[in-house]
């Protein structure tokens, strides 16, 4: 019984540590014009969510008044193994499409992908803080 409890505790702490690794501010891959967003990822209930927290031009100047600041871009991502989340949704402000999403953390890089029917897109985001 002690071994079972120890194993469960290790799994719980490993899951919590993995989730903590993804928390923070992430920079999206730049669009064709070089502009990009920053998205703050943090827990929402037992899952992960992401809110657009900044918008920037290709020369790294903040875009004041960007209409989607504060809008949820990622929601309900559930852990699915070390450094992986899925089962949630991702919203693309570029074309106003909500898709089934997946996240995969690899150090300071986050692969963000979404599929709507047979059409899938992915981006590599980098950690800001």
Q: Has this prediction a pTM greater than 0.85?
A: no
**Nearest CA to 74 among 32, 34, 12, 22?**
22
User: What pLDDT band is residue 20 in, cutting at 50, 70 and 90?
Assistant: low
Q: What is the pLDDT of residues 24-33, one digit of tens each?
A: 999 999 999 9
pLDDT at 14 over 50: no
Query: Which of residues 13 and 21 earns the better pLDDT score?
Result: 21
Q: How far apart are CA 54 and CA 51, in angstroms?
A: 9
CATH number for the domain formed by residue range(s) 2-127 = 2.40.128.520
pLDDT of residue 2: 52
**Nearest CA to 94 among 37, 56, 19, 46?**
37
User: What pLDDT band is residue 129 in, cutting at 50, 70 and 90?
Assistant: confident
């Amino acid at each position: 019984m002690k071994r079972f409890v120890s194993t469960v505790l290790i799994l719980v702490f490993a899951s919590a540590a993995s989730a903590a690794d993804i928390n923070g501010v992430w920079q999206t891959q730049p669009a064709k014009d070089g502009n990009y967003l920053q998205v703050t990822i943090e827990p929402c209930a037992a899952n992960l969510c992401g809110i657009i927290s900044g918008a920037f031009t290709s020369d790294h100047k903040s875009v004041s008044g960007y209409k989607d600041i504060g809008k949820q871009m990622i929601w309900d991502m559930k852990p699915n193994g070390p450094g992986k989340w899925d089962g949630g949704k991702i919203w693309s402000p570029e074309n106003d499409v909500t898709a089934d999403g997946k996240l995969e953390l690899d150090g300071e890089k986050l692969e963000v992908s979404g599929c709507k029917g047979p059409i899938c897109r992915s981006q590599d985001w980098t950690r800001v803080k």
